[in-house]
Amino acid sequence: MHRIKRDSMTKDRVVLGLLFVFVFGVFCFDVFVVPTVILPVALYAMPIVVGAYYLSPRQVSALSVWALILRLPADLVAGSPAWLLVLHSLSVVIIGYLGVVLAARRTREAALRRESEAARQQVTSILESITDAFFAVDRDWRFTYVNKQAEPLLRRGREELLGESLWKVYPEVVDTAFDKQCHRALVEQTTVEFREFLAPAKKWFDIRAYPSQDGLAVYLRDVTEQKRAEEALAERVRLATLITHVDTALIHSNTLPEILRRCAEALVEHLHVAFARIWTLDAEQNVLVLRASAGMYTHLDGSHSRVPVGQFKIGLIAQERKPILTNAVLGDPRVHDQEWARREGMVAFAGYPLIVEDRVVGVMAAFARQPLTEAALQAMASVASGIALVIERKRAEEEREKVLEEAQRRAAELDGTLEAVADGLVVYDQTGTIVHMNPAAESILGYTPEQRELPLAERMALLRMETADGKPLPVDQMPVQRALHGEIARGMVIVIHRQSDGKAAWYSASAAPVRAPDGRLMGCVSVFTDVTALHQLQEQREDLIHTVSHDLRNPLAIIMGQAQVALRHAEREDVVRKCADGINTSARRMNVMIRDLVDVARLEGGQLRLETRPIDLISFVHDLLERGRTVMERGRIKVDISPDVPPVLADPDRLERILVNLLSNALKYSTPETDVTLTAERTNDEVTVSVVDHGVGIAPEDLTNIFDRYFRAQGTRRTEGLGLGLYITRMLVEAHGGRAWAESELGKGSTFYFTLPLA
């Protein structure tokens, strides 16, 4: 009963399935497989497997059962069109199980498709809502997706870009860092991140590229403002460092060239300019002189080493006292060498006058290969002000150093002059303290270092000062005291007895106050002129007057007396002859003294003329001695002249005078009956003649003055004559080109030498 009932039910289902197949197959479905033989089987299975599984015709053909395949429209299966398979086999159970399994799988796949679509929609929504630009390309670099934020960046709509090649649409980015990084990401299948300035957008971007097997996804974040902020911060740091380095150079460098060099180097380093230069003004020649150059040019010579004010842009900056600033060098008429600027890639120029108190002291300028920002220009202006101040400061220092050097030079000259002055010179301050004393004054006053520190009154008390008439000089009458009280003392003759040896020396002392520009007394200066020689000359003059008056009167008196005797005894021949001899001798003595006076005048006036000729000394001396027997003690004179002494070149009359003077002096001042020896010998290219006596000798202090005019050695006995013999001898020897000198030792005698040139 049950089987009959089940079969009845199955038949009912077959009828219903048949109606379903024919109704939906005819009106709703496309029937692809219709083997009529198995149609009842397919109809039997229909109610079980309708909508259970989707297969393509190829998959169905692989099955080992007959099938009925229906194509279901997409709107019935909520997706793409599908195939409906109706199977019938020996076992309805198997068919039913297969239908359940296929139906479950179809449900899961539909759910997955819905989830995938939802995810895709969600991703799309996210990509469209993010602020970053995003696009994706396939492995052939064709755009597959572009979000709306990328459209302004790419300057095209997504419809224009999808399917197009990235490098074809944007050829300007080929071979850029963007190109290289994207290719690296795709080839190496690695994520890359980098920052790049994209010329098409004229902006800076942080770029991230994510590779996949299908292509590349690229995110671009606009960081232009951040980049600008970073650059501005970096620039502020650079400019602050620039100012610090410049300040360090201005403060710690020693010389102006070093300061300017370091400033120019700081400009190049921190402003990234191509080169920087600094000129200083030579005001006298009105020329700007290049003192520092850094960067691509460091030499200081060439056409820009000296720029006249008013010429070229550098000279114009100085003349107009205004900066020249441009970020468009090419085409700027003030930049003359446009070809050089184009070749070197110069973009910007900035030149500033260096001004201090409305005075131009120089020019600072720089060329750059990139535009100079306003902040950089402000920093350069600040640097220019600092450099101008240091140039002026150094100029003032150099001027001060020049003034100091000039003052020191003049002080040295003054010191040298004061040191060289033969007169004693002492400078005192207002209290009488010694400020300066030259060597002559030190010798005159003889103060020790300790005595120089004593008060003025105590110092003066150490000196024994007298007036010209031998009276003590009161302290308040001393020239220094008078000058410190504002008086001027001139030519006051005083006698100072030296502390060292007590010897007296005569001085003409003068002193005058030294006043400041406002008239305030600052001290005084005192001068001591040694007039001892003048005093001695005065004494010699008085002696000469006495000698001339005495020595000329004596022979004159003899002449007059002898003449009177001759007149009274004219009848006596022997008396007359004796009187005549006396008159002749006295007249000869008078003639010698007059001749000496005349010769001195001629020698000192340069009017003496020599008539030189070769002379044989041996014969000349012997002849002289024979002729002088009546006036010289011939027996005391010994001659020792070597036979090989060559002839000399001399004036015979003047040579005779020289020999007579020396022999007469030797005979006169030596002990009677002692010998006087005359010798001669050759020394190199001259002959040295000497006269040796054995007299009392000459004191060492008198030896240096023995050939002076009117000089008489101290302690010698009084003799006739004017004191001109040795003086005339020296003058005559020197007129021949020779020398005269003496050597002596007290108590042992003296030797007088002179030289004559060879003939």
275-330 pLDDT, tens per residue? Answer: 999 999 998 999 999 999 999 998 888 888 999 999 899 999 999 999 999 999 99
User: For domain 610-757, which architecture applies?
Assistant: 2-Layer Sandwich (3.30)
Q: Helix (H, G, I), strand (E, B), or coil: what is residue 195?
A: strand
Ranges of each domain in the chain: 91-125, 130-224, 253-400, 423-607, 610-757
CATH class (in words) of the domain with range 130-224: alpha beta
pLDDT at residue 49, as a whole number: 39
The domain defined by 423-607 folds into: Beta-Lactamase (3.30.450)
Largest CA distance in the chain: 239
Question: Per the structure block, which two tokens stand in for 136?
Answer: 């994706």
Q: How many Cα atoms are found within 13 Å in the side-chain-facing hemisphere of 435? A: 13
Distance CA 746, CA 651 (A): 34
Same fold yes or no, 130-224 and 423-607: yes
Q: How many CB atoms lie within 10 A of CB 517?
A: 5
| Residue 486, SS3 per DSSP | coil
Q: Whole-angstrom distance between the N-terminal and C-terminal Cα of the chain?
A: 191
User: pTM score, two decimals?
Assistant: 0.45
∠ CA 220-226-231, rounded to 5°: 125
Provide Rg for the chain, Cα atoms. 67
Please report the pLDDT score of residue 505 as a whole number: 84
Note the CATH number of domain 253-400: 3.30.450.40
- Nearest residue to 250 via CA among 267, 232, 263: 263
- The segments of the chain whose pLDDT lies below 50 read 1-7, 9-101
Helix orientation angle between 725-735 and 573-605, rounded to the nearest 10 degrees: 50
**Contacts of 320 by beta carbon, 8 Å cutoff, 6+ apart:** 353
Q: What is the pLDDT of residue 596?
A: 67
